[in-house]
Amino acid sequence: MLKEWNENIYCNYPFIPSRLKTREVRVGNILIGNGHPIALQSMTSTPTMDTSASVEQCIRIIEAGADIVRLTAQNIREAENLENIRSQLRKAGYETPLVADVHFNPKVAETAAMVVEKIRINPGNFVSNSSGKQVGPILIRDRLEKLLEICKRHHTALRIGVNHGSLSERTLNRFGNTPLGMVESALEYLQICREFDFHQLVFSMKSSHTHIMVQAYRLMVHRMLTEGIVYPLHLGVTEAGDGEDGRIKSAVGIGSLLADGIGDTVRVSLTEDPEKEIPVAKELVAFFDHLKPSDPSTDFPDHGMNPFRFEKRRTVPVANIGGTTPPVVVSDLSHESVDGDILNSLGYTRDSSTNRWTPGDQSPEYLYFGPRIPPFSLPASATGVLDYKKWVEVAHATSYVPLFTLAEYLNSSLKSKTLNLVHLDTTNFDVKVMQKLKAEANVVFVVKGRSWDDLYHTRKCILHMMAHHIDIPVILWYETEPTTEERHILKAAIYFGALLVDGMGDGLWAGMQNAQDVDFLNRMSFGILQATRARITRTEYISCPSCGRTLFNIQETTRDIRNATRHLKGLKIGIMGCIVNGPGEMADADYGYVGSGPGKISLYKGRQLVRRNIPSERAIKELIKIIRDNDDWVDP
């Protein structure tokens, strides 16, 4: 008999790190789920018909540390050629399992299922009729059962890989383009697989939107728990982009779920050479791979938050923090020897005739100076933060506010009339004290974090605040020990991201012990806010990682489009390598640049095709013209 689960259950327990136990699935020589190490994956970007290039790229991916490699199989001949790629790899001594990525043609999946160890199909386009339209449940069942029969015979695993951007019309009509639609789409296939007694299954719920992706995976876990069997989950954020942005977005989406204990395999999708995805995936997984698998708690808390729908925690604003205002950013300038020039690296520009500073789109609102009053005057748009003991010297100046310890605040008779920042210890909080501070109406909590444990403590503390209607805004503060920039980005993006995707946090304060690179920390903070859609300050590029279907050089084109449009604010531009999946996969982009044939590009305004098959040499100019025609362009 199935358990009566709490209607919000989505992981073992939200305040204790532990890994969700899933059913074991074999993919060649790799075991997925049931507590086995989280498997790392990447996907080739070479044409699958180019055997030697594909084999060489597979080897680079494997040597980087991949456990599984995926290749695209767009037609029967590519599916058949997987045999050549596979046998050359085996001859070279590589036993790594291969996955065929198949869309639109079940016969291709059937062919590939006889060759490789796993097939990925997309329920949004597994079967379509001759005019490319999706078909009804009877035909889907018929074709899926044929594939399952082959998979059973050849011991081939199957990933039901749902994409937010390519749900079937039938699903969209019934459930909309939502996490629920994604989950229902997967469950329809799961039902058929279970009736056919096929269990070598893995599920994924990818989106380029980190909220959607996190909610969809959580909801899928919830539904599988209520069905009484949890299959392994393959995690990924689609079209995450490249560089810092791609790493931040991947860490927010994948890392938040790993912190929930969800995830048995991971693919980080970067618009970079595929082997570069593996070290990033390795770092993300290493933070949580030690978690012990266990069954979910039967005492799952009814914590007053819906984990399947985004809703920002309701707070009463204090100054410009909280309420409906996007999260503020605090820059830590407490190290010695800062002078006014530091403001240049935080995006402020000074007018030499008036000596006034103007903030940029990514300039922090708060500047923390610790125990020192800075030797320069602050920009009018910024507020200085001083440790309470120093602040008392300038308490009359409105440009500074105090940072208290809780004891200092409770014992002090001198407080700011506008804003008092108060450290809150989330391992030892007292609801009565918080209620007392709520009554004073000008307090904002600063919640410190230095470890993953602090992430769970902070979540628990904020949920208690919600349960007791303590609507004091919270600034999330996270500091790592000295480490590489990349590791710091990944850790901070997970820490902040896991809370922001749950609507928690009215400000970000990022630090690295002994680090003075305020420019880097500030850029990263705004990058995390952008990746969680908490605060949009620049154009977002939803660029595909490329695969064997790609029709142009995605990396170069992404760079060129970024150079031409990076000054725009708040737009989402999709850059997709192929017309087959591109328009669907870029989902909620405002404009789309999609490869539609060799040397040919099609351009989109939202989901609407506005230029078809134009030569690639003039495609970026045309894209700019379309942005201009729609009044979204400003001159740099």
Contact residues for ligand SF4, defined by CB under 6 A: 544-547, 549-550, 576-578, 580-582, 585
Contacts of 50 (CB under 8 A, 6+ apart): none
Please report how close the Cβ of residue 535 comes to ligand SF4 at its closest, in angstroms: 28
Please report how close the Cβ of residue 196 comes to ligand SF4 at its closest, in angstroms: 28
Please report how close the Cβ of residue 165 comes to ligand SF4 at its closest, in angstroms: 9
Q: Which of 495, 566, 500 is nearest to 326 (CA)?
A: 500
Write phi, then psi, for 111 (nearest 5 degrees). -65, -50
The residue (of 383 and 550) whose beta carbon lies closer to ligand SF4 is 550
The residue (of 75 and 405) whose beta carbon lies closer to ligand SF4 is 75
Helix or strand (DSSP H, E) at 330 = strand 328-332
Helix (H, G, I), strand (E, B) or coil at 498: helix
Write phi, then psi, for 445 (nearest 5 degrees). -80, 145
Helix (H, G, I), strand (E, B) or coil at 220: helix
The residue (of 120 and 415) whose beta carbon lies closer to ligand SF4 is 120
Please report how close the Cβ of residue 120 comes to ligand SF4 at its closest, in angstroms: 11
User: Which residues face 64 on adjacent strands?
Assistant: none
Please report how close the Cβ of residue 581 comes to ligand SF4 at its closest, in angstroms: 4
The residue (of 47 and 511) whose beta carbon lies closer to ligand SF4 is 47
The residue (of 17 and 545) whose beta carbon lies closer to ligand SF4 is 545
E-strand ranges in 218-326 read 234-235, 265-267, 293-294
Please report how close the Cβ of residue 580 comes to ligand SF4 at its closest, in angstroms: 6
Q: Count the Cβ atoms, other than its own, within 10 Å of residue 206.
A: 27
For residues 2 and 227, the answer to whether their CB atoms sit within 8 Å is yes
The residue (of 569 and 607) whose beta carbon lies closer to ligand SF4 is 607
How many CA atoms lie less than 13 Å away from 433 in the CB half-sphere? 15
Task: Give whole-number Cα distances, 88 to 116, 153, 588, in Å.
Answer: 13, 23, 40
Q: For residue 214, give both structure tokens.
A: 């996190």
Please report how close the Cβ of residue 603 comes to ligand SF4 at its closest, in angstroms: 15
Give me the residue whose beta carbon is nearest to ligand SF4.
Answer: 577
The residue (of 218 and 267) whose beta carbon lies closer to ligand SF4 is 267
The residue (of 68 and 578) whose beta carbon lies closer to ligand SF4 is 578
Please report how close the Cβ of residue 583 comes to ligand SF4 at its closest, in angstroms: 9
Please report how close the Cβ of residue 574 comes to ligand SF4 at its closest, in angstroms: 9
Which string of b and e fits 320-329 if b means at least 16 CB within 10 Å? bbbeebebbb
Q: Count the Cβ atoms, other than its own, within 10 Å of residue 315.
A: 22
The residue (of 379 and 582) whose beta carbon lies closer to ligand SF4 is 582
Which burial class, exposed, middle or buried, applies to 312 when counting CB atoms under 10 A from its CB (0-12, 13-18, 19+)? middle
For residues 208 and 240, the answer to whether their CB atoms sit within 8 Å is yes
Task: Give whole-number Cα distances, 114 to 108, 109, 320, in Å.
Answer: 10, 9, 61
Please report how close the Cβ of residue 543 comes to ligand SF4 at its closest, in angstroms: 9
Radius of gyration of the chain (CA): 26
Write phi, then psi, for 368 (nearest 5 degrees). -95, 125
Q: For residue 423, give both structure tokens.
A: 């450290």
Q: Nearest-5° angle of CA 624, CA 626, CA 631?
A: 95
The residue (of 365 and 585) whose beta carbon lies closer to ligand SF4 is 585
Please report how close the Cβ of residue 546 comes to ligand SF4 at its closest, in angstroms: 5
For residues 30 and 23, the answer to whether their CB atoms sit within 8 Å is no
The residue (of 270 and 444) whose beta carbon lies closer to ligand SF4 is 270
The residue (of 268 and 544) whose beta carbon lies closer to ligand SF4 is 544
For residues 19 and 35, the answer to whether their CB atoms sit within 8 Å is yes
> Where do the H-state alpha helices sit in 380-507?
388-391, 406-411, 431-440, 452-467, 485-500
Q: What is the DSSP string of 305-323?
A: --TTS--PPP---BTTBST
CA distance 204 to 185: 11
Please name the residue that has the structure tokens 């595909």. 544
The residue (of 50 and 227) whose beta carbon lies closer to ligand SF4 is 50
Please report how close the Cβ of residue 83 comes to ligand SF4 at its closest, in angstroms: 21
Please report how close the Cβ of residue 277 comes to ligand SF4 at its closest, in angstroms: 12
